[in-house]
Structure 1
């Protein structure tokens, strides 16, 4: 389905506005404080732009403009009925329907045969080390959050992240082993005319 606003940041804005009206600055702070910025890339400018797009689409509306002496005027936005309907429809679609994504590592794997196997092995070993570090850091972050009483449902994207990283690590380890085999390296050198 083609959406009026299809940026993942828009979905996050709609989801956070379910909790109540907010100023874009508050939305950004909530996204960072809850760790959602690990999965949804944004900056202050993109957040304000998305809020404006959601407003034009009729999914959010200005609720009030707050003025205090310390800060400039701040417009607080609320979710409209159409916005609530869009949020739940979009979430159902994302949870239900698998979509083919085009990750950069998939592109690299599809073309990895152009690299000298010995070099590819070294690069993959570096990647494996980075993956292990990311997995360990994510486990530590989840353990800390759980220890602070954060419900598991608010960390489920980190479980997904670890599952994907662990699957990638298994593939990288297997591929490293295959590329390191002398017979493959010999055939690669023959094919690419690099026989020594």
Structure 2
């Protein structure tokens, strides 16, 4: 079971991951997060940064150690990580790595109601998705190759490797299912076609399935 955290926004973990390098103000934190592409690794809402940093200070994970002013700009508070913040970062990372948690990708949501579309249209849509995934994978592979060429340790791109692996797995599954549909070997294909050809009411289909009387 996931730990109930004092600040449970993943942006807080991202903040800890950069501020552990040394004291900095919020603008520096945001700059480093963008520079390192953290918004590709987790859902970051930049407008929440001010509130998240405030909450982290209240929780004892950060502490203000001074401020600075650059010309006419507002004064910027400088924060540093506390021992409690270091402990929180380590504990949270352990949980994220060791404990699987249910996630709800948009693709899964679409698949859960895929019967609303006729199979021939789904074949076309899967082809579009596969082509898009292939482009994303190619771009990600090129980016990884560039990072490796710059002698960046693998440790610091491991999340990108995982991301590519997940994309490749999704593309492989989508190709496999599309091939089944095209070849006509998907076991429910004819019933699926009839649903749309005959305009069978969805309520009637659910009733048939529940009674175990769905047509072959």
TM-score exceeds 0.5: yes
Please state if 1:194 is matched with 2:180: no
Equivalent-residue separation in structure 1 for 2:180 and 2:55 (angstroms): 49
- Are 2:138 and 1:136 aligned? yes
Q: 1:110 aligns with which of 109, 112, 123?
A: 112
Per the alignment, residue 203 of structure 2 pairs with none
**How has the CA–CA distance of structure 1 residues 189 and 43 changed in structure 2, closer, same or farther, with 3 Å as cutoff?**
closer
Name stretches of at least 5 consecutive residues in structure 1 with no aligned partner.
Answer: none
Quote the Cα distance in structure 2 between the aligned partners of 1:139 and 1:70.
44
Alpha carbons of 1:193 and 1:94: their partners in 2 closer, same or farther (altered >3 Å)? closer
1:147 counterpart residue number: 149
Whether 1:125 aligns to 2:127 is yes
Of 31-40 and 122-131, deviating more is 31-40
Name the structure 1 match of 2:33: 31
In the TM superposition, what are the counterparts of 1:36-185 in structure 2 within 5 Å?
36-69=38-71, 71-182=73-184, 185=189
Deviation for aligned residue 1:179:
2.2
Structure 2 residues not aligned, in runs of 5+? 200-216
CA contact 2:68–2:78 (8 Å) conserved in 1: yes
Measured against aligned partners, the alpha-carbon deviations of 1:36-80 in whole angstroms (never above 9, x if no partner) come to 221123343211121112112111111111113253211111111
Deviation at residue 182 of structure 1 after TM alignment: 4.2
SS at match of 1:77: strand
> SS at the partner of 2:75?
strand
Distance 1:9 1:32 in 2: 12
1:195 Cα deviation after fit: 4.5
- Deviation for aligned residue 1:170: 0.7
Cα pair distance change 1:182/1:91, threshold 3 Å = closer
Tell me which of 4, 7, 11 is aligned to 2:6: 4
TM-score by length of 2: 0.84
User: Residue 186 of structure 1 contacts residue 195 of structure 1 at CA under 8 Å; is this kept in 2?
Assistant: no
With normalisation by structure 1, the TM-score equals 0.92
Larger radius of gyration: 2
Q: Distance in 1 between matches of 2:103 and 2:45?
A: 23
Over the aligned positions, Cα root-mean-square deviation in angstroms equals: 1.7
1:114-145 per-residue CA deviation (whole Å, 9 max, x = no partner) reads: 21101111111110011101110001111111
